[in-house]
């Protein structure tokens, strides 16, 4: 046993964990073997930057596929209209944790827990977005049917794009920093308007993903929602980091 602990300490692993978790010699050997194998794999990848990148990409592909399947299943379980909001928030929470380097958690149980916890608030947000979406579509159609000037049509189209981006980012924003509903919509709009470059990248990336999936329908089951939420969460993180840096600079200047 002492030999195992010594090896674990050399590898940078705490010996307390092996003593507390299991006192059986055979299981300790198995645990040590698994750990050493993982350590060897990590050390090998550290020395192979290209393989490390490929491995990281493969991990993210598998993660996004798994969480997308859960998103579809639980959306259907909620009869679509009542399930898409909670499923999207649950998926956003999981992807947000992955981006924050929190990788050691059971995906399925965390998804279910988030789905149940945010069920009511997610459906309330979805209801508001549906109402706003109806108004946006109605206004756009109104400008076309009544042959209004190009200025009004362009304005209605711009409002439609802003709504589209808000619909994409509202759940990732909620998952990253849960707040009350009124503040959420205000923050979401400011996020879209205050960071034009970030918004442009988000629009181009999500539009590109949608077009790719339309031409390759086989990807929809595995990546339809998760890839868009992933991009949106990344852009939300970028905007939050930028805001934090600006606030820190203002504090220093004072």
Spatial contact of 67 and 111, defined as CB atoms under 8 Å apart: yes
Domains of the chain, residue spans:
1-47, 59-253
**pLDDT one-digit tens code per residue, 169-225:** 999 999 987 678 888 999 999 999 989 999 999 999 999 999 999 999 999 999 999
Distances in whole angstroms, Cα of residue 3 to Cα of each of 15, 30, 75, 206, 252: 11, 14, 51, 53, 52
Q: What is the pLDDT of residues 80-131, one digit of tens each?
A: 999 999 999 999 999 999 999 898 899 999 999 999 999 999 999 999 999 9
Close Cβ partners of 135 (under 8 Å, ≥ 6 residues apart): none
Sign of CA dihedral 210, 69, 89, 236: negative
pLDDT at residue 53, rounded to an integer: 83
């Amino acid at each position: 046993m002492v030999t195992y602990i010594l090896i674990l300490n050399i590898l940078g692993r705490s010996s307390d964990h092996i003593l507390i978790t299991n006192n059986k010699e055979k299981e300790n050997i198995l645990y040590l073997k698994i750990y050493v194998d993982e350590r060897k794999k990590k050390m090998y990848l550290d020395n192979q930057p290209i393989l490390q990148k490929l491995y990281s990409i493969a991990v993210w592909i598998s993660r996004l596929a798994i969480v997308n399947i859960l998103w579809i299943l639980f959306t259907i379980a909620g009869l679509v209209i009542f399930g898409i909001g909670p499923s999207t928030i649950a998926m956003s929470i999981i992807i947000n944790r992955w981006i924050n380097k929190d990788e050691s958690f059971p995906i399925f149980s965390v998804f279910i827990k988030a789905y149940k916890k945010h069920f009511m608030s997610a459906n309330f947000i979805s209801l508001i977005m549906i109402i706003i979406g109806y108004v946006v579509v109605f206004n756009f159609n109104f400008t076309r049917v009544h042959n209004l000037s190009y200025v009004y049509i362009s304005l209605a189209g711009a409002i439609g794009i802003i709504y589209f981006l808000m619909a994409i980012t509202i759940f990732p924003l909620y998952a990253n920093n849960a707040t009350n509903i009124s503040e959420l919509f205000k923050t979401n709009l400011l996020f879209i308007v205050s960071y034009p470059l970030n918004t442009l990248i988000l629009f181009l990336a999500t539009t590109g993903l949608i077009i790719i999936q339309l031409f390759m329908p086989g990807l929809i089951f595995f990546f339809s929602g998760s890839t868009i939420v992933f991009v949106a969460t990344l852009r939300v993180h970028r905007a939050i980091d930028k805001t934090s840096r600006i606030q820190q600079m203002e504090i220093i200047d004072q």
